[in-house]
């Protein structure tokens, strides 16, 4: 519930422009030609979002109320980029309540975001809180009317269909509305990743729990993610935050926190857990909002103006241990040398492989396939001493999905620094599935706090993980040939606080070479 949030910015002008948004869902000849220029871009696999380089993309960003402050764009976007954010969620209007953002306006917004290496998530705000299908349809028609700004930008633009459409805390109409809206957008040639806000002004994730799979299945491209807005109801306590996120992931669906604050109209918000838990499990978030809030929620301003000083709330979002400066990783289309957008009917670009050590076994990069749903990799540090002669990470893979998964298809990677030139040894001290069924290999890696990784693979005799099953403890130990000490303080995957098994996004799980959980350095 966001009573008072942003509805006193400008007087609401109900303009006749709405009538031009009643568009046919057919594809005119000119638009069909435009659709042919689309590129391979963001895509969903399992509960993860990947960019066009096949790298996981975890949103760390800020909401910006552009449609009420159109003249501030040139100042606000560079300032938001300076926070380290990798995505900005842009408020647009379809002309029903506020001044229309035209296709030319949107093209200008996207060009500026592109210049500052910000992935753009666009949303229509006019349907906020409405239970009327007509308001959702108006949002759909708006996207179709500006689709020339979206086609060909699938690798840098995400479409949030309608901000907080469906205010009631119920599911049926919310689900049926989106089950019609999503196919209509796809039929019109819009191939961008889509975002669907939960019901209840974004704060009723029960709508996703109940019908998320049905809504996701209505997308012929299977490229839709769900968004929870975490204020006092959906994000009031640590238990609520974790339960809401976990319940969506348990369905094998992708989820982000599309908005959150640190307090709201009817209570507190546990922003610390939202940020820390999202980092732990690799879920994206976008804080509300850059500046300009009214109606009694001015405290949600992250900055004092379009390029203003950060507020206390803004400092938390940007500079805290789990803030944008510390955790945001840019869309890798902006950081991959030689990246060229690939036409939708072309070959998906393959990221440059890391150089293996002489002992490493590196498989060719496979074509991306759908990740199995519900797989979770757990880690614990069995040796928390940062300066001794061994590294002892233990692992456990759990299958929370509906189907068995062959262990021989899976790989685990742990990233660290060698701290010397000595050769390395890896030993499986014990494994519930049998140490003889696990093979280790080292590879070189260039990334933050990592120059090496060790990869665990499973032989055919390891069998399969049934639905609801787990591997049990896998006890890995690394040491140097001369038994000299490591310095684990600068090791990407090492976390001495994790003495009990827990999910940890600094170790990665792969299926047939494709990353399915965790974040590479």
Instruction: Name the residue with higher pLDDT: 21 or 395.
Output: 395
Active site residue 259: yes
Average pLDDT over residues 9-28: 33
Strand, helix or coil for residue 257: strand
Q: Does the pLDDT of residue 343 top 50, yes or no? A: yes
Non-local (6+) Cβ contacts of 418 within 8 A are 424, 451, 452
CA distances from 434 to 238, 344, 390, 460, 467 (A): 37, 44, 22, 12, 20
Assign residue 295 a region (left: φ > 0; alpha: ψ between -120 and 50; beta: otherwise): left
Q: What pLDDT shows up at residue 11? A: 30
Q: What pLDDT shows up at residue 511? A: 86
Q: What pLDDT shows up at residue 204? A: 98
The Cα–Cα gap between 180 and 178 comes to: 5
Q: Does the pLDDT of residue 175 top 90, yes or no? A: yes
Q: Does the pLDDT of residue 51 top 70, yes or no? A: yes
Strand, helix or coil for residue 160: strand
Q: Packing angle between helix 206-217 and helix 238-249, nearest 10 degrees?
A: 20
Residue with tokens 């901000």: 163
In 292-390, which residue ranges form alpha helices assigned H by DSSP?
A: 312-319, 324-327
Q: Does the pLDDT of residue 187 top 90, yes or no? A: yes
Q: Does the pLDDT of residue 219 top 90, yes or no? A: yes
Average pLDDT over residues 116-134: 98
The Cα–Cα gap between 516 and 474 comes to: 19
Confidence class for position 371, pLDDT limits 50, 70, 90: very low
Q: Does the pLDDT of residue 195 top 90, yes or no? A: yes
Structure-token pair, residue 289: 């909002």
Average pLDDT over residues 237-252: 96
Q: What pLDDT shows up at residue 308? A: 81
Average pLDDT over residues 121-141: 98
**SS3 per residue for 183-218:** HHHHHCCCCCCEEEECECCCCECHHHHHHHHHHHHC
User: Which of 190, 46, 64 is CA-nearest to residue 122?
Assistant: 64
Instruction: Yes or no: say if 49 and 193 are a contact pair by the CB < 8 Å rule.
Output: yes
Residue with tokens 């759909």: 140
Confidence class for position 324, pLDDT limits 50, 70, 90: very high
Q: Does the pLDDT of residue 488 top 80, yes or no? A: yes
Active site residue 488: no
Q: What pLDDT shows up at residue 160? A: 98
**SS3 per residue for 379-428:** EEECCCCCCCCCECEEEEEEECCCCCEEHHHEEEEEEECCCCCCCEEEEE
Q: What pLDDT shows up at residue 212? A: 98
Average pLDDT over residues 106-114: 97
Q: Could you report the per-residue pLDDT of 58-67, keeping only the tens digit for each?
A: 999 999 999 9
In terms of C-beta density within 10 A (0-12 exposed, 13-18 middle, 19 or more buried), how is residue 247 classed?
middle
- In degrees and rounded to multiples of 5, residue 199 shows phi and psi of -70, -175
Residue with tokens 């978030």: 285
User: Which of 279, 215, 285 is CA-nearest to residue 255?
Assistant: 285
Q: What pLDDT shows up at residue 518? A: 86
Q: Could you report the per-residue pLDDT of 327-340, keeping only the tens digit for each?
A: 999 999 999 999 99
Average pLDDT over residues 369-390: 80
Q: What pLDDT shows up at residue 347? A: 56
Cis before 289 (ω within 30):
yes
Q: What is the mean pLDDT of the chain?
A: 88
Confidence class for position 23, pLDDT limits 50, 70, 90: very low
Instruction: Yes or no: say if 94 and 139 are a contact pair by the CB < 8 Å rule.
Output: yes
Q: What pLDDT shows up at residue 359? A: 34
- Dmax of the chain from CA atoms? 79
Average pLDDT over residues 98-121: 97
Output the CA torsion sign for 305, 310, 312, 318. Answer: positive
Among the residue ranges 274-288, 398-412, 424-438, 471-485, the one predicted with the least confidence is: 398-412
The Cα–Cα gap between 237 and 246 comes to: 14
Q: How many helices (H) and strands (E) does the chain have?
A: 10, 24
Q: Does the pLDDT of residue 354 top 90, yes or no? A: no
Average pLDDT over residues 461-477: 92
Q: What pLDDT shows up at residue 37? A: 67
Instruction: Name the residue with higher pLDDT: 137 or 520.
Output: 137
- In degrees and rounded to multiples of 5, residue 226 shows phi and psi of -105, 150
Instruction: Name the residue with higher pLDDT: 250 or 35.
Output: 250
Q: What pLDDT shows up at residue 350? A: 46
Q: Does the pLDDT of residue 513 top 90, yes or no? A: no
Assign residue 324 a region (left: φ > 0; alpha: ψ between -120 and 50; beta: otherwise): alpha
Average pLDDT over residues 262-269: 95
Q: Could you report the per-residue pLDDT of 443-456, keeping only the tens digit for each?
A: 888 778 999 999 99
CA distances from 68 to 73, 294, 388 (A): 11, 11, 58
The predicted model scores a pTM of: 0.65
Strand, helix or coil for residue 97: coil
Average pLDDT over residues 296-316: 95
Average pLDDT over residues 168-188: 98
Catalytic residue among 154, 259, 455, 488, which? 259
Average pLDDT over residues 451-471: 92
Instruction: Yes or no: say if 477 and 393 are a contact pair by the CB < 8 Å rule.
Output: no
Strand, helix or coil for residue 323: coil
Catalytic residue among 154, 164, 271, 488, which? 164
By percentage, how much of the chain surpasses pLDDT 90?
Answer: 79
The Cα–Cα gap between 301 and 291 comes to: 4
């Amino acid at each position: 519930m966001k009573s008072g949030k942003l509805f006193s910015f400008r007087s609401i002008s109900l303009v006749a422009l709405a009538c031009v948004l009643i568009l046919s869902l057919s594809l005119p000849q000119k638009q069909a030609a435009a659709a042919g220029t689309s590129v391979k871009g963001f895509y969903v696999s399992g509960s993860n979002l990947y960019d066009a380089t096949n790298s996981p993309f975890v949103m760390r960003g800020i909401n910006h109320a552009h449609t009420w402050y159109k003249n501030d764009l040139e100042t606000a976007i560079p300032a938001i980029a300076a926070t380290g954010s990798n995505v900005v969620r842009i408020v647009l209007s379809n002309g029903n309540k506020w001044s229309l953002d035209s296709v030319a306006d949107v093209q200008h917004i996207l060009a500026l975001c592109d210049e500052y290496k910000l992935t753009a998530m666009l949303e229509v705000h006019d349907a906020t809180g409405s239970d009327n299908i007509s308001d959702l349809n108006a949002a759909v028609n708006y996207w179709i009317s500006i689709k020339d700004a979206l086609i060909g930008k699938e690798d840098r633009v995400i479409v949030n269909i309608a901000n907080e459409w469906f205010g009631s805390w119920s599911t049926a109409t919310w689900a049926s509305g989106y089950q019609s809206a999503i196919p209509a957008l796809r039929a019109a040639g819009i191939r961008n990743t889509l975002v669907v806000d939960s019901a209840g002004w974004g704060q009723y994730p029960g709508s996703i729990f109940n019908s998320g799979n049905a809504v996701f299945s209505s997308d012929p491209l299977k490229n839709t993610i769900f968004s929870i807005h975490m204020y006092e109801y959906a994000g009031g306590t640590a238990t609520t935050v974790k339960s809401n996120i976990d319940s969506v992931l348990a369905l094998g669906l992708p989820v982000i926190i599309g908005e959150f604050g640190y307090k709201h109209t009817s209570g507190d918000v546990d922003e610390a857990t939202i940020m820390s838990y999202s980092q732990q499990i690799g879920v994206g978030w976008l804080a509300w909002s850059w500046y300009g809030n009214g109606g009694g929620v001015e405290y949600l301003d992250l900055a004092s103006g379009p390029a203003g000083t950060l507020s206390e709330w803004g400092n938390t979002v940007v500079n805290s241990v789990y803030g944008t400066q510390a955790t945001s990783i840019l869309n890798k289309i902006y950081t991959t040398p030689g990246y060229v957008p690939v036409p939708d009917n072309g070959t998906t670009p393959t990221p440059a492989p890391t150089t293996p050590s002489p002992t490493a076994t590196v498989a060719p990069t496979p074509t991306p396939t759908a990740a199995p749903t519900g797989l979770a990799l757990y880690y614990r540090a069995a040796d928390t001493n940062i300066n001794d002669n061994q590294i002892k990470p233990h692992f456990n893979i759990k299958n929370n999905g509906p189907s068995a998964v062959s262990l021989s298809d899976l790989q685990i990677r742990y990233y660290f620094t060698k701290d010397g030139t000595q050769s390395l040894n890896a030993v499986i001290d014990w494994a519930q599935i049998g140490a003889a069924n696990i093979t280790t290999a080292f590879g070189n890696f260039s990334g933050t706090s990592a120059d090496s990784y060790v990869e665990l693979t499973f032989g055919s005799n390891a069998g399969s993980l049934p639905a609801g099953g787990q591997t049990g403890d896998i006890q890995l130990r690394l040491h140097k040939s001369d038994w000299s000490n490591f310095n684990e303080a600068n090791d990407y995957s090492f976390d001495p606080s994790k003495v009990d098994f827990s999910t940890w996004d600094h170790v990665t799980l792969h299926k047939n070479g494709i990353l399915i959980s965790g974040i590479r350095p």
